[in-house]
């Protein structure tokens, strides 16, 4: 799969099947769209494209945070091997001010040579969001593409959306989040050198500083799986600032893995969250902390049937 940043960088002249949206999280609702593109790609030999609007620039302009479920790099990694192109399109002034009709004719048709367009029922585009599925349907015959409108996927009688996923994540409902995503929520990062306090307690840990743009669940202890050098390990992880042993207030994901004995410093690892165990707390002593970690480990091993 090719990761292309910006519309102008796309040079392929073949007909395409394209789906468009923000795709934050690539949840089960998004999965329906991507699967349709894959079908067209396999059956008709067209180029499969996932076109994602990157809203960070707009939010920076408004001086608002835009915490994401998945970074663009993480989206690309999840789509790799499924479609031919992932288009990372910054939502800049050029895109924001483009009339909806021009977006159809100059972007979807002239640049991406769309033969199939796949979108959700609430897809909007163009200046002041004038474009919608009705406009796409109106232009379909004239522009020579086939439009597929995909109904929303539901979870507990509510439409799955990035907003819904974020609400559950911020409440620590990791198992619900994972059901709506269709995979386990992840945090990627480089293992840093720490103060080796965990090793002194008998629990050697790995510290990862998450991206500032990554949306994190509540501070606390989680049942986790961690991938190092392509191998998965079970463990427990603490998301927070380690108040018992430091005053730094720097957000870290600290994990203790049950089966790992190697040296992971400097390695890029993936941490999957599986279940929330307890909130982060400050203990009166390191001994109390150690006793609690023993309990956390026992619970995690029981959860993973180890």
Residues of the chain short of pLDDT 50, as ranges, are none
State the pLDDT at residue 245.
52
State the pLDDT at residue 77.
93
| Helix residue ranges, H only, 241-304 | 286-303
Exposed, middle or buried by CB within 10 Å (0-12, 13-18, 19+), for 14? exposed
The C-alpha atoms of residue 228 and residue 10 are separated, in whole angstroms, by: 34
State the pLDDT at residue 202.
58
The C-alpha atoms of residue 169 and residue 86 are separated, in whole angstroms, by: 26
Could you tell me what percentage of the chain is helix, strand and coil, using 3-state DSSP and rounding each to the nearest 5?
35, 30, 35
Measure the CA angle with vertex 165, ends 49 and 28; round to 5°: 40
Query: Phi, psi at residue 52, to the nearest 5°?
Result: -115, 125
State the pLDDT at residue 61.
82
State the pLDDT at residue 283.
82
State the pLDDT at residue 287.
82
| β-strand partners of 191 | 208
Q: What is the pLDDT of residues 218-252, one digit of tens each?
A: 999 999 999 999 999 999 999 998 655 555 668 89
The C-alpha atoms of residue 87 and residue 111 are separated, in whole angstroms, by: 12
Q: Are 1 and 83 in contact (CB under 8 A)?
A: yes
- pTM, 2 dp: 0.91
The C-alpha atoms of residue 240 and residue 100 are separated, in whole angstroms, by: 44
| β-strand partners of 252 | 240
- Mean pLDDT (the chain) is 92
The C-alpha atoms of residue 18 and residue 21 are separated, in whole angstroms, by: 10
Q: Are 237 and 221 in contact (CB under 8 A)?
A: yes
Q: What is the pLDDT of residues 72-127, one digit of tens each?
A: 999 999 999 999 999 999 999 999 999 999 999 999 999 999 999 999 999 999 99
The C-alpha atoms of residue 1 and residue 84 are separated, in whole angstroms, by: 5
Measure the CA angle with vertex 75, ends 70 and 79; round to 5°: 150
State the pLDDT at residue 160.
97
3-class secondary-structure state, position 190: strand
Q: Is 86 left (phi over 0), alpha (psi -120 to 50) or beta?
A: beta
Q: Are 140 and 116 in contact (CB under 8 A)?
A: no
State the pLDDT at residue 197.
59
Residues contacting 239, CB < 8 A, separation 6+: 216, 217, 218, 219, 220, 222, 251, 252, 253, 280
The C-alpha atoms of residue 205 and residue 233 are separated, in whole angstroms, by: 13
State the pLDDT at residue 249.
67
State the pLDDT at residue 274.
98
């Amino acid at each position: 799969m090719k990761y292309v940043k910006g519309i102008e960088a796309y040079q392929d002249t073949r007909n395409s099947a394209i789906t468009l949206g923000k795709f934050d999280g690539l949840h089960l609702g998004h999965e329906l769209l991507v699967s349709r593109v894959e079908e067209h790609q396999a059956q008709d030999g067209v180029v499969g494209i996932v076109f994602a609007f990157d809203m960070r620039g707009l939010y920076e302009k408004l001086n608002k945070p835009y915490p994401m479920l998945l970074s663009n790099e993480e989206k690309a990694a999840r789509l790799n091997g499924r479609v031919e192109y992932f288009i990372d399109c910054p939502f800049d002034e050029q895109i924001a001010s483009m009339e909806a009709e021009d977006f159809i004719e100059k972007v979807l048709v002239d640049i991406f040579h769309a033969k199939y367009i796949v979108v959700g029922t609430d897809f909007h585009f163009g200046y002041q969001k004038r474009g919608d599925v009705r406009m796409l349907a109106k232009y379909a015959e004239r522009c020579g593409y086939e439009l597929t409108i995909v109904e929303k996927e539901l979870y507990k009688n509510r439409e799955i959306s990035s907003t819904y996923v974020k609400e559950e994540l911020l409440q620590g409902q990791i198992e619900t989040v994972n059901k709506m995503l269709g995979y386990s929520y992840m945090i990627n990062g480089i293992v840093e050198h720490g103060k080796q306090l965990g090793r002194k307690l008998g629990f050697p840990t790995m510290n990862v500083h998450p991206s500032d743009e990554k949306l994190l669940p509540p501070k606390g202890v989680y049942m986790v799986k961690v991938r190092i050098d392509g191998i998965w390990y079970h463990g427990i992880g603490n998301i927070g600032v380690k108040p018992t042993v430091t005053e730094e207030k720097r957000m870290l994901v600290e994990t203790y893995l049950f089966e790992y004995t190697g040296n992971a410093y400097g390695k890029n690892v993936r941490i999957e969250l599986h279940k929330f165990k307890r909130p982060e707390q400050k203990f009166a002593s390191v001994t109390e902390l150690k006793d609690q970690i023993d309990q956390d480990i026992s619970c995690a091993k029981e959860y993973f049937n180890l």
